[in-house]
Amino acid sequence: MRILSVTIIFLLTFFLAIPLGKYISKVYKGEKTLLDILNPLENIIYRICKIDKSKEYDWKENLKIFLIINSIWFVYAMILLCSQSVIPFLNPDEIISMNPVQSFNTAVSFVTNTNLQHYSGETALSYFSQLFVICFLQFVSAAAGMAAFAILLKALKSNTTKKIGNFYVFFVRSGIRILLPLAFTAGVMLILNSIPMTFAGKTSIATLQGDSVSVSKGPVAAVVSIKQLGTNGGGFFGTNSTHPFENPDIITYIIESVSLALIPMAMIFTFGYYLNRKKASWMIFAVMTLGFLILLVPLLHYETAGSPIISRFGISQPDGSMEGKELRFGSSLSSYWAVTTTNTSNGSVNAMHDSMSPLSGAFLMLGMQINAFYGGVGVGLNSMFLFIVITVFIAGLMIGRTPELFGKKIEAKEIKIAVMVTLLHPLLILGGTALSSYIYTLPNAGESLQWLNNPGFHGFSEMLYEFTSAGANNGSGFEGLRDNNNFWNISTGIVMLIGRFIPIIGTMAISGSLAIKKDIPPSPGTLKVDSLMFGIMLFFVIIIIGALLFIPALVLGPVAEFVTSF
């Protein structure tokens, strides 16, 4: 029954993703769709912002637009978070302003679509900040990632031209035509299933023990719907989707877990429909799904089998290991959510990852470290594209032929960018973990630098997980780490910035380079990137480059914890 429920949710996501992928392709091509009724809203935005939607730009101009609007959002978020206590409305619980360092981390986190939260939303943010900072950034950061992917699609389809579309147009269409209707639909469904959507303040209730407790609520449904659909993950409450107001029952679980992977999976099919290379999209889907299952199956095994330490005493664990999990979901649905959220750069949780078995934690980290199995909205395919470029280059060397990708020659410039960007990811994660480990062990480190509740192997895993999550733009965490201090707020903020923008810059640079090249007709010696053989090569390139670099760190943390627990 456990496996059946997980399988049904995955298949439901899959069957919804195919038509959605086709629809997204039509949106980016500018073809007619049922939601053309939203044209007036788009035109108002173009008019207010003085955007010429008919104009196209080269990759440098599109990148400049992307970086400028993200910089504006960052400054905007910083100002509001640092001044939320003086804003005279939508703050019924009188939440104070954030300090500048925490504001920096939060603004960076949501601008980069990471949503790493070193705070609890119900106690640190006013309703104004929840809606006009958090919810707003969850829309626009997701739309920006999708627009960057649309630029890549446009470039791959172009032939000897510098102009590869208009970032403004792709961004607006992503937000208005895709994210807004999906989030509205999901939000209404969540409201109908008892998730709050109110501007009233805390309510005092009497518990069964006779105590008086203040219960937070607010415009929860609006935040939850886009946090899932935009692979954001930033919860309204500190406990995220373990909280009954964010995820009360199995119906909301299905809505939220489907939403979590829907657009990342749909983007794979958008790739095929837009480029008219459906076989290639199925190959990419097969590689991603194989990697996803390799991470999911062991997690299901370890979490449903229960704790081996408890089993030694002859205690039955019919529901598996339930520490840190909600009874309404159990170990299997918590495991499925955990693997999905870490593989899609989402970061929302319905169970505490810190409480999972050591090897389960290792597989969750590995999904983020590879960062190519589904991934975030748009940027997941960008990461996979870099691996495809590297695989094409390696395959070309093996057969003694100039590498080609979709009729474009892959030359030194493209491969250098792809390799540098791909190797930056482990550098950020492993370098950050090494730095934090060194600082923690300094003999004269003050109390503010003693951030581990769990020293030893698990403490190392907590630090490794934090930088892995920041580098992969994920946002989940091993919450035993005391992370709301200057070191973690600044260090993870820097990692989030680099981990988000450098890969997009690299992909856009490759896009511009490929767009100006002349298409080469296929010949008998052309490597087919939609073949089974190429799919196998791509999978092993991902494992060798994306996974093996992290094995030593995983051995020092979760693997060592697992071995010493017997």
What tokens does 542 get?
């991902």
pLDDT tens per residue across all 566 residues of the chain: 668 889 999 999 999 999 999 999 999 999 999 999 999 999 999 999 999 988 999 999 999 999 999 999 999 999 999 999 999 889 998 899 999 999 999 999 999 999 999 999 899 999 999 999 999 999 999 999 999 999 999 998 888 888 999 999 999 999 999 999 999 999 999 999 999 999 988 888 887 777 888 888 899 999 999 999 999 988 999 999 999 999 999 999 999 999 999 999 999 999 999 999 999 999 999 999 999 999 999 999 999 888 777 777 777 777 888 888 998 898 999 999 999 999 999 999 999 999 999 999 999 999 999 998 998 887 888 889 999 999 998 888 877 777 888 888 888 899 999 999 999 999 999 999 999 999 888 877 666 678 888 888 999 999 999 999 999 999 998 988 888 889 999 999 999 999 999 999 999 999 999 989 888 777 666 678 888 889 999 999 999 988 889 999 999 999 999 998 76
Cβ proximity of 126 and 90 under 8 Å? yes
**Predicted pLDDT at 445:** 66
Q: Is residue 480 one of the residues assigned to a domain?
A: yes
Q: Is residue 453 one of the residues assigned to a domain?
A: yes
Q: Which residue has the tokens 């973690």?
A: 488
CA–CA separation, 112 and 234 (whole Å): 12
C-alpha dist (Å) from residue 78 to 82, 106, 131, 219: 6, 8, 14, 21
Number of structural domains the chain divides into:
1
Q: Is residue 503 one of the residues assigned to a domain?
A: yes
Q: Is residue 322 one of the residues assigned to a domain?
A: no
Strands 404-405 and 212-215: unpaired
Q: Is residue 145 one of the residues assigned to a domain?
A: no
Burial (CB count within 10 angstroms: exposed 0-12, middle 13-18, buried 19+), residue 552: exposed
Torsion region of 456: left, alpha or beta (phi above 0 gives left; psi -120 to 50 gives alpha)? left
Decide: helix, strand or coil at residue 327: coil
Q: How many CB atoms lie within 10 A of CB 209?
A: 6
Cβ proximity of 384 and 418 under 8 Å? no
**Predicted pLDDT at 524:** 67
In which domain, by residue range, is 560 found?
377-564
CA–CA separation, 220 and 198 (whole Å): 8
Q: Which residue has the tokens 């399988």?
A: 7
Strands (E), 208-289: 212-215
Q: For residue 236, give the DSSP letter.
A: S
Q: How many CB atoms lie within 10 A of CB 16?
A: 16
Cβ proximity of 492 and 114 under 8 Å? no
CA–CA separation, 44 and 99 (whole Å): 36
Q: Is residue 515 one of the residues assigned to a domain?
A: yes
Q: Percentage helix, strand, coil, to 5, in the chain? A: 65, 5, 30
Q: Is residue 227 one of the residues assigned to a domain?
A: no
What tokens does 87 get?
């804003």
Q: Is residue 21 one of the residues assigned to a domain?
A: no
Q: For residue 351, give the DSSP letter.
A: B
Phi, psi for residue 212 in degrees, rounded to 5: -100, 125
CA–CA separation, 461 and 125 (whole Å): 29
Burial (CB count within 10 angstroms: exposed 0-12, middle 13-18, buried 19+), residue 106: buried
C-alpha dist (Å) from residue 337 to 13, 65, 265, 307, 435: 13, 35, 15, 20, 31
